[in-house]
Amino acid sequence: MRSPRSHGRRSGARVAAALVVALVPVAAPRVAAAVEPVPAPPRAAGALEDEAEVLPGLRAPTVFFGGRTTMTDVQSRGEGATSFGALFVTSASFHGSQGRFGSLRGSFIGAIGSGTATVEGWLRGALTLGARYQLNADQSAFLRFGFGGEAQGNGNYYFSRLELPIVEAGWQLGTAERFVEGGLRASPLLAGSYHVEGPLPRTLSGAGQYGAYFSARTMALRSEFSVTYIDKRGDAFDRPVQVARALVCGFGVAQVLVVCLDGQALRVPNGGAVTADLSGSRVFYTGLTVGVGQTFRPVDE
């Protein structure tokens, strides 16, 4: 026969177990409810617009690499020389805005190869930063400062310059589908050289240069045009070097395949030179690039 004390202990254990089983389902929701995130308070009506203004603005980057074929035609002293080349090329460039007032523009190209005029190459880069003034939702005026340099050539010609400081001023239009910019550009040349076969080499150090440029980019196209007047005076030539450039790129399948056609003209007017060593000259340089890359993607950070 069980004692009353033993029976009471077993009954108490059963009651305690029943209470635990009954309370666990109730306590679990309470714990879960306690860790639920508290809803954020509603934002002010203009908060999203204010935040968007301080985020990085629309940018139009272009990055590609591929193969390149070129043709160079040089005319000097009444004679001409034509050469062809094949090069590997990589390039990157961008335009854009930063925050409410920032503006930036940068570019880089590197190419190396060979051809009928021996080794051929091109190395160029520039970066300008500054401020912009918002004219309306899509348009801005800007003023930027920076530096740049380049060296290019083959066995028939050579051209180089180091630009510091560069000053750019102009206008830009940026939307979700296109980016357009045009401006004026000026800088002194800390160093530089221009040489074609025949006339004496020219040192461009200390010259001033000024010109204009235009750039347009969409999801499928990129174009760049520029003209520059290098005002080199006080040497035996006493004539400027004129530079004109054009570039058009098309982006094909999935905006990955890129085909670019570019051209460049370098010219020193004859100016009535009395000796062949001081005569004028002209260089036409054209290139066709096929590769892979991308262009114009809005950045939302």
Check residue 245 and give its pLDDT.
Answer: 98
**Which residue type does 2 have?**
R
Question: Which strand (E) or helix (H) includes residue 266?
Answer: strand 257-268
d(CA 144, CA 159): 25
How far apart are the C-alpha atoms of 128 and 83, rounded to whole Å? 34
pLDDT recorded at residue 100 = 76
Question: What distance in Å separates the CA atoms of residue 289 and residue 177, rounded to the nearest whole number?
Answer: 24
Q: How many H helices and E strands in the chain? A: 2, 13
CA quadruple 57, 60, 65, 71: dihedral positive or negative? negative
Residue 69 has what pLDDT?
97
Phi, psi for residue 115 in degrees, rounded to 5: -175, -155
pLDDT at 11: 42
Contact 230, 213 (CB under 8 A): no
pLDDT of res. 190? 97
Residues 6 or more apart in contact with residue 120 via CB below 8 angstroms: 70, 72, 85, 87, 111, 112, 113, 114, 153, 154, 155
Distance in angstroms between the alpha carbons of the first and the last residue of the chain: 80
pLDDT of 2: 47
* Residue 43: CB atoms within 10 Å: 10
pLDDT along the chain (301 residues), means of 10: 45 41 41 46 42 49 89 88 96 81 92 96 96 90 97 95 97 86 97 84 92 91 95 82 95 79 92 65 94 68 39
3-state secondary structure of 36: coil
Residue 272's pLDDT is 57
Delineate the domains of the chain, giving CATH numbers in brackets: 57-295 (2.40.160)
The number of beta carbons lying within 10 Å of the beta carbon of residue 37 is 5
Predicted pLDDT at 296: 61
